[in-house]
């Protein structure tokens, strides 16, 4: 069991999300950085969909009420275990009574705490993810509070060493797969979407402009601040299905990127869709940072997806000997 000692609003239990219910208005929810969750779960011997803690407001501190193996992935949150610094993307064994603290990240926006066995909250509609807008899933459908105690599921995985072991961060291990500007602007690939032709006069500026992520951004969507883009004509649209990554343009002309907790339908014109393989990078962008959207296509998305799967396969293979010891 884990006890929450210090936390902020919006820190929640999440897994890879809730699928199959969008037709009745239930959003996906789930982690904003799926790659961090999958890697942390592989390191701790979990199923890749095991529930974790997503931390986006710091400082955050927990006490372990039992021995466990943990992994910390995602943002470099300057983690300490009983005051001793831990590297980013790190897994290790912890003892009953030890305390882990995560601080405001040096880089990135969200950190993930994975525990061998996973966070054992009830499954609701096929997922343990917290749906804050619907107040269900996770821990009583809400964000974490001081004093909360979270159960840990059973595990057959061999405990991680006390000395710890690390993962090469995906941004480093797969640097050739992900574009980046020299000045720190995060470049994200996107494919033109349904109403793209309506913005023909602003196409070049849409791709070249560096958009700032507004402070009015959250897990529902990232609002982008910059010189507005406008359709050549106003059209009346019926609502259509939304998925994370869709870039809509409301009447004011500043785009909104739909994310994990987004509505399942909407009616603003959609100019593009960020490829799924880049969404984990968007999830690590802090409000106030700048992004640039790079015109891409399905072939590029398939190539990147294959590269990510190769990285995960190498990680699985490196953890396989520990699993074999316990007969998995």
Q: What angle do CA 249, 250, 252 make, to 5 degrees?
A: 110
At 246, phi and psi to the nearest 5?
Answer: -65, 135
Domain boundaries, the chain: 2-169+309-325, 178-296
Under 8 Å between Cβ of 72 and 22: no
Kindly write down the DSSP assignment for every residue of 217-249, as one continuous string.
--SSEEEEESS----SS------EE--TTEEE-
* Residue at token pair 């107040």: 135
Fold of 178-296: Cyclophilin (2.40.100)
User: Tens-of-pLDDT digits for all 328 residues of the chain?
Assistant: 999 999 998 999 999 999 989 888 899 999 999 999 999 999 999 999 999 999 999 999 999 999 999 999 999 999 999 999 999 999 999 999 999 999 999 889 999 999 999 999 999 999 999 999 889 999 999 999 999 999 999 999 889 998 999 999 999 999 999 987 678 899 999 999 999 999 999 999 999 999 999 998 999 999 999 999 999 888 777 888 899 999 999 999 999 999 999 888 888 999 999 999 999 999 999 999 999 999 999 999 999 999 999 999 999 998 875 554 444 4
């Amino acid at each position: 069991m884990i006890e929450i000692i210090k936390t902020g609003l919006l820190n929640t239990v999440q897994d890879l999300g809730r699928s199959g219910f969008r037709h009745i208005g239930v959003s996906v929810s789930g982690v904003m950085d799926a790659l961090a969750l999958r890697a942390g779960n592989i390191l701790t011997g979990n199923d890749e969909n095991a529930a974790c803690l997503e931390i986006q407001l710091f400082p955050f501190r927990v006490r372990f009420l039992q021995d466990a193996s943990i992994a910390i992935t995602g943002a470099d949150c300057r983690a300490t275990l009983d005051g001793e610094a831990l590297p980013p993307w790190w897994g290790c064994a912890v003892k009953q009574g030890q305390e882990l603290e995560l601080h405001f990240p040096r880089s990135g926006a969200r950190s993930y705490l994975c525990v061998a066995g996973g966070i054992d909250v009830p499954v609701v509609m096929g997922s343990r993810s917290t749906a804050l807008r619907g107040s269900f899933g996770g821990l009583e459908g809400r964000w974490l509070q001081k004093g909360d105690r979270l159960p840990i599921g059973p595990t057959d995985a061999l405990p991680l060493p006390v000395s710890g072991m690390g993962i090469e961060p995906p941004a480093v291990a797969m640097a050739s797969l992900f574009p980046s500007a020299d000045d720190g602007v995060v470049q994200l690939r996107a494919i033109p979407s349904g109403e793209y032709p309506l913005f023909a006069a602003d196409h070049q500026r849409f791709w070249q402009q560096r958009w700032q992520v507004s402070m009015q951004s959250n897990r529902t969507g990232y609002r982008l601040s910059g010189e507005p883009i406008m359709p050549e004509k106003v059209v009346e649209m019926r609502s259509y299905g939304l998925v994370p990554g869709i870039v809509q343009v409301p009447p004011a002309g500043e785009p909104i990127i739909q994310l994990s907790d987004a509505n399942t339908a909407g009616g603003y014109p959609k100019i593009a869709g960020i490829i799924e393989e880049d969404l984990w990078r968007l999830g690590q962008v802090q409000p106030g940072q700048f992004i640039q959207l790079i015109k891409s296509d399905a072939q590029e998305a398939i190539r990147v997806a294959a590269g990510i799967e190769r990285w995960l396969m190498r990680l699985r293979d490196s953890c396989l000997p520990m699993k074999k010891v316990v007969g998995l």
